[in-house]
Each structure stands twice: as structure tokens, then as C-alpha cells.
Structure 1
Amino acid sequence: MLAYYQYRKRSFLVASKELLEQVQRFGAMIALLFQVYVFGAVATLFMGIGKIVQSDHPHTAVLMAWTLLTFQSFLFYVFRSAILDSPHRSYHSTILPNKRHMIVSDVLLTTAAHPLLFMSMIILIAIGVDKITQAWQLVWFTVTQFAFAVAFIYRPLAVTLSLVALAIVSAVIESLPLFLVLSYALLVISLLVSPKFVDFSMVVTSLRTYWLRYFSQNLNVVIWRIVFTMLVLWFGFTVKVERPDLITYYTPGLLVINLLWWSSIMIDLKPEVVGRVHYWKSLLMYPQVEKSAWLVGATVCGIASIVTLLMLGFSWASLIAVALTPMLLICAFRSTKHLLVAWLATFVLSYLPFI
């Protein structure tokens, strides 16, 4: 029995290391960003959880609760395979026939891979046992976090459907207790009515379906970028609410950071184009494939720019970053080092209007 738990721990660590290799490609950029923003990002997460305990506007607590549940679902989508040890799960019964230990391991690894749950518990500990009754909403939300996390590991589609429904609910209700009650009700309904498996396979008939199939088979390429983008937007939205006088100065930098995530997608698309150059040339399609890859990169960067500016507000300085997006895409397609230099130049140029 102990050997099985040790195996699950090692398989989780190995799989997690492999999943993070994409982020580690940008080692220099990630290190540079984290040295500057990691403490602010962590503080923003704690602040968001704190809004559930006390907020001037009840609707803010509801929106924060939905954001946190959605954010943790993105995280667990990335780590779900590592937690379940999906590639070798069919062999687990040969190590330990009792499925109870398999479920216990799943729950333990889910808890260990849940940073937001630990943050909520830290806040509860800081509040103290004597005052815990005053923060009962946070206790309830912490339990909800755990329930949604475990449910997502086994039934991701059901949790996703419940979160979509909760997005509509969060727009019309302002009571956090009512939101939490409805979250459990919608989760149970989704677990009962949604299918356990969905086949996303598609036949490639054009370049459009080729890229759709590529992303459906490599969703982690998009998911981790969405997670980092949400974190940046959450940080910016918090600044906008708490210090609206400073958001003008933050917006260009936050936009450039989001453009870093999405322009770097060209690094992932490059092997599909250059790595198969002879195949595409044999079909006389290489120029079209290359153009379609540029179109994909430009589209996702454009969407990221629009969403960022809509949420944080428009500024003329941000237009510099938008105008330099093609340079970021070109440099990303060449190499990570070129992207780093181009990104740093874009970051500096975006702040020239403030000098």
C-alpha cells in the first residue's frame, strides 16, 4: 500500500515537471517577470479571497467567488493528467487492487496541487478560531473550492457546464450565500445530466480544421496562457477598483505582459510549419500554411489586446504595444531570445509617453 502512494507521488512530480517545460522555455522572461510581479500577484490573490470575507459591494464577492472557481478549474485542467496519472492509470489495479486507495491518492494530490485552497486556509488561520464565525462565508467557500476541484478531476465537462451557468447567475444575483447554494445545485445537476466522455476528434479537410485539430489535441498550449492572462487581468482589475488613479500607468505594462504570453504561441506553432516543411511543400501548401500560422498568432494577440483594453481601459500608450505586436510575432517565430529582446523593447517603448 505504501509503495502505491510513493508511486503516485513520484508520477505526479515527473508529470508536473513535463507540463511546466513550456513555461520553462521562457526562463529568462518568466524570471524577470516573477521578480517584479510575483509578490503583487500573490497579494492580489489574497486580496481577492479577502473580498469574500468583507467587501463594500456584495456583488463583488460573488464575482470574486466565480473568478476563483474558474481560475482553479483552469489550473486543474493543466494538472489533471498528472494528478490521475492518466497514461498509466489502467495499470494501477496491478499495483493495488483496492480502488479506495486510488481515490484517496487522487484527493490527496488534488489538495497538494491546489494553491488557492491553501491561501483560503491561511486566511482562515489568520482570522483565528475565536473569530471564525464572523468569516463563515469564507469557510463555506473553501469547502466549495475543494468540492469543485475534486469534481473537476473526475468530471471536467460537468464542472465546466456548471461554471458557465454560474457565470450567468453571478451577473444577476448579489448574495454570496445564494451563489454558493446555487453552485452546489448546478454542480449536482451537471454531474447527473452531462456525458462522462466527449469525442473531440475531427477530420482535417482544410487549414482551418488542421489548426482546430492541433489545438484540440494540444489544449495545454492555450490553457496555461489563459491562466496567466486571467491572473494579469485580475491584478489589473483589482488596481482599477482599489486605485483607479494608477490604472493608466499599469495598463500598458499589463498589456505587454499578455502580449508576451500570446505572441509566444508562435514558438509552439513553428514545429507544425517548419518541422514539416517537406511535407507541406510536397502538397504545394507551404506558403498557405505559413500564412495561416501568422494569422493564428495575430488573431490570438488581437483578442488578448481587445480583452485587456476593454477590462482595464484604453490609453494612447497602449497603442504602442499593439503597433509592435507584429514584431513580437516575428521574433517569437525566430527564437525565444529574439522574443525576449523584442518584448523588453516593447515594454520600454510603451512607457515613453509617460516620460
Structure 2
Amino acid sequence: MSSITIKQTITQYHAFMDYRYQAYKNELAQLLVQLKNFGLLFFVVLGSAMLGMILLLFLGLGKIIDSADAPQHGAQMAWLYLLLQSVMLSAMKSAIKNSQQRLFQRTIVKPGWLKLMDIKLLLLSNGWLVASAVIAFDLTLTQWLKAPHFILFMSLQFGLGILCLYNSRALTIGFLLSAILVCVPVEIQPLIYHLGFVLLFTLSLFIPQVALGARLSVSSLLSFWVMFFVNHTWVLVWRCALLLCVFMSSSTLLHERPDLAEIFTILALAFIVLFTSSLQFDCGKLHEKYQLFFKANNQARRFFISQFVPGMIFFSIALAGFMALSKQENYVLLIMSLIWCGLQLFAAKKKPAHYALVWICVTALLLAF
């Protein structure tokens, strides 16, 4: 290969890299636009708590590293971190891979270039891995010898990022299998836990796919919604991951500060209401898409009512889980949260722009009284 050809190849690669990076930024901007209904919420709640969230991120990584005294708790923390990382990367997957223009890119560049840029943008997007790398560089040799499992943890962070891009089914199966591992009441060494993670996620690559959706037929409203969630599991997965964070955080806070139990309970219920009632945005879009079809079949009213059912069922399950974990006995507050969820569902349907404002106002009122 001549020097001219090499220079042309490098120039083409740089041009392709610039294009992918620009497309990445544009898709992220579009993703933020899609979150406009939550804009006020993000700026007021999450924006003000950003520093605290970053500190909690590093504190959690510290717990994973120093988990010799409580290996199961450390493994559960590692599993949760990997899950949250996967949720975040799944939300950014389209931007990282530039999915909208993927087929076009395959006609103009080599397949290796596509994967190379995917990995570059994956590393750029993976703040969880960056945080781990920051801590890793600060560890001494003595600390590394005490925490060899952290190398596996970082390898899992990178490997699961790749799985998230190219094999989300195996990623989901791997998380289900590893969840069983961290819940088994047996204390083993942190290194063994992480080796188990590696083994289970590797095993998930070889589990054959079962086409569940192909075996279901739409013959009623119930089967219609079941089919939707079977084919769009993401709308439940990311919410379940965030609810799991709420459960674990509230459990820890209630244990550490029982004197502030009422405040922590209200905040936990607030986020349970938020994450479950937001399902209405997805159900509402589906209602708008198929309402004419159900109207033609004289089921318009039933279909309209049915769009609120998934959110209420999801909330009821999450509330039951929270009650079981926290041993909550304030039934007045629980009934109020049920009414609150209904209010949020109504706001999501009728006044989506005010959804976050309603949530903030109700949360503030409950905390005040």
C-alpha cells in the first residue's frame, strides 16, 4: 500500500469520525428534547442534587472495592451499578451507534470502522466506567492486592457496554442469572462473585432465543397490552432499575436514620409514583396510534380506560414491594400515594407539560405537612 493510499485512508477515517461524532451530539440533543416533559423535574430536583449523586457514585464504588467484610452486599452493589450503567447506555444506544444512518454507513465504510467508532463513543458515554477508572488510578499496589475483583468489575463494565450495543437479549438474561447469584444467602469472596458474573454473562450469550411474541395473538385488549410490553420491554426495564435504586436507598437510609423515617418514606413514595406513572407517556402514545382502530371496533371507551391500567398495576406492584421491604404501616400515606399516582396519570394524559410541576408540588406539600 502506497503512502498516498494510506494518507487517503486516514483522511477518510478522520472524516467519518467527525461525522459520527457530530451525529452523536445531534442525537443526544434530540434525546434531551424528548425529555421536555421532565425538564423542570431534572433541573429542579436532579440538577440541584447532581453533586450529591456524583459523591454517592464514588462512595458506592468505594463499597465495591472494600467489600471483604460484607462480600454479598458489595456484590449486590456491583450488580446494581452494572444495571444502572446498562440502563443509561441503552438510552444512549441509538446515538452511540447512529442507528438511523447505520445501513447507509455500511455502504461507504468498512465494518471494522463502524465497530471502532461504536467503541470510541461507548467509552465517551460511559461515565460509570470513567468514574471507576478515576478511582483505579488512585489505588496503591497494596489496595489493588486487597481488591483484585475490581479489575473484573471494570472489565464487566466495558464488556456489558458492548453487550448493550450488540446483544441486549444476552445482557438481560445475564442480569437475571446474576441477580439469583447475589440473592443466594451464601457468603463467598468478592473475587468469586465477580468471576460468577463473568461466567453467567458469558453463558447468556449461548442461550437460544425464544420468540415469545410470535406465539402470542392479539384477540383482546389484555393481549394487546401484553403484546406491547413483550415487544417493548425497555419501557419497563429502565423503570424497574430505577425503582430498585429507590428500594435499596430507602432501605439503607431508614436503617441509618430511623428518626427521619417519615421524610424518607415520602421521598421514596414520590419517586415510586414518578417512575410508575410516567409509563402513561408510553401508553398514551400507543392509544393515540391505535384509537381509530378500536373506535372502528366499537371499543373506543374501553381502550381509552385501558391505557391507565398498566401504570396503576405497575404502581401497585412497586408499592407492595416497598411496603414489604420497609415494613411500612402508614396506610393513610399509602392511600394518598395511590390517589397521587392517579393524579399523575391524569396529568400525563391531559397536561403533559405540567406533569413534573404536579409531582414537585405534591411532594413539597407532603413534606410540609
Tell me which interval the TM-score lies in, with the shorter structure as reference length: 0.7 to 0.9
Q: Which moved more, 1:33-42 or 1:289-298?
A: 33-42
Cross-structure match for 2:280:
266
Matched, 1:347 2:360: no
The alpha carbon displacement at 1:315 in A equals 4.9
Counterpart CA distance in 1 for 2:292 and 2:204 is 47
Q: Is the Cα contact below 8 Å between 2:254 and 2:264 reproduced in 1?
A: no
Structure 1 residues 17 and 315: alpha-carbon distance in aligned structure 2, compared to 1, 3 A threshold: farther
Matched, 1:32 2:48: no
Give TM-score, length-normalised by structure 1: 0.86
Matched, 1:104 2:90: no
Identity %: 23
Matched, 1:335 2:359: no
The alpha carbon displacement at 1:31 in A equals 1.4
Q: 2:302 aligns with which of 267, 285, 288?
A: 288
CA displacement, residues 275-332 of structure 1 (integer Å, 9 cap, x when unaligned):
6554433321111001111212211222232233334441526423234322222222
The alpha carbon displacement at 1:241 in A equals 4.9
Q: Is the Cα contact below 8 Å between 1:78 and 1:223 reproduced in 2?
A: no
Q: Which amino acid aligns with 1:181?
A: L
Counterpart CA distance in 2 for 1:17 and 1:305 is 34
The alpha carbon displacement at 1:111 in A equals 1.2
Counterpart CA distance in 2 for 1:187 and 1:270 is 35
Q: Is the Cα contact below 8 Å between 2:96 and 2:121 reproduced in 1?
A: yes
Q: Give 3-state SS (helix, strand or coil) of 2:35's partner.
A: helix
Matched, 1:257 2:271: yes
Q: Which amino acid aligns with 2:294?
A: W
Q: Any residues of structure 2 matched to 1:67-146 within 5 Å, and which?
A: 67-97=80-110, 99-128=111-140, 131-146=143-158
Q: Give 3-state SS (helix, strand or coil) of 1:25's partner.
A: helix
Q: Is the Cα contact below 8 Å between 2:148 and 2:191 reproduced in 1?
A: no
How many residues were matched structurally? 351
Q: Is the Cα contact below 8 Å between 2:273 and 2:340 reproduced in 1?
A: no
The alpha carbon displacement at 1:189 in A equals 2.3
Q: Is the Cα contact below 8 Å between 2:37 and 2:354 reproduced in 1?
A: no
Q: Which moved more, 1:222-231 or 1:155-164?
A: 222-231
Q: 1:185 aligns with which of 193, 196, 199?
A: 199
CA displacement, residues 166-187 of structure 1 (integer Å, 9 cap, x when unaligned):
1111123432100111222222
Q: Is the Cα contact below 8 Å between 1:264 and 1:329 reproduced in 2?
A: yes
Q: Which moved more, 1:158-167 or 1:39-48?
A: 39-48
Cross-structure match for 1:61:
74
Counterpart CA distance in 1 for 2:295 and 2:65 is 60
CA displacement, residues 192-227 of structure 1 (integer Å, 9 cap, x when unaligned):
3444x9584554322123223434555554444334
Q: What is the root-mean-square deviation in Å for CA atoms of aligned residues?
A: 2.8
Q: Which runs of 5+ in 1 are unaligned?
A: none
Q: 1:326 aligns with which of 338, 342, 360?
A: 342
Matched, 1:46 2:62: no
Cross-structure match for 1:299:
313
The alpha carbon displacement at 1:82 in A equals 2.5
Larger Rg: 2
Counterpart CA distance in 2 for 1:119 and 1:315 is 39
Q: Is the Cα contact below 8 Å between 2:41 and 2:357 reproduced in 1?
A: no
The alpha carbon displacement at 1:63 in A equals 0.9
Q: Is the Cα contact below 8 Å between 2:171 and 2:204 reproduced in 1?
A: yes
The alpha carbon displacement at 1:242 in A equals 4.3
The alpha carbon displacement at 1:146 in A equals 1.1
The alpha carbon displacement at 1:137 in A equals 2.8
Counterpart CA distance in 2 for 1:50 and 1:225 is 26
Structure 1 residues 65 and 131: alpha-carbon distance in aligned structure 2, compared to 1, 3 A threshold: closer
Counterpart CA distance in 2 for 1:156 and 1:134 is 33
